[in-house]
Amino acid sequence: MTRSEITEKLKYILSSADDRDPERYSNVTEETRLMEDLGMSSVGMLYIVIAIEEEFGIRFDNVGASDFKTLRDVLDYIEAKLS
């Protein structure tokens, strides 16, 4: 799976977790900060982690929501787990 494909799936997961304005996720970049820019809460982050695990068939081991500051951090983690 390419990084672009992972990014698109991740954008879908993020927009599904936020019922405020799903369209805003179409313009996120790898530099987008999850909590500051997207306003993700710890509960939202938990939902996202579970959705990522199900979508990609991976497990988040020994990491917490605070370990992921930007979209790039999440993408790098997913790529590492898939390789």
Distance CA 45, CA 80 (A): 19
User: 25-58, pLDDT tens digit by residue?
Assistant: 888 999 999 889 988 888 888 888 899 999 999 9
pLDDT value at residue 78: 96
CB 38 within 8 A of CB 28: yes
Phi and psi angles of residue 35, each rounded to the nearest 5 degrees, phi first = -85, -45
Domains of the chain: 3-82 (1.10.1200.10)
User: 4-21, pLDDT tens digit by residue?
Assistant: 999 999 999 988 877 777
Residue with tokens 């997913």: 78
Per residue, the 3-state secondary structure of 57-70, as one string, reads CCCCCCCCHHHCCE
What is this structure's pTM?
0.87
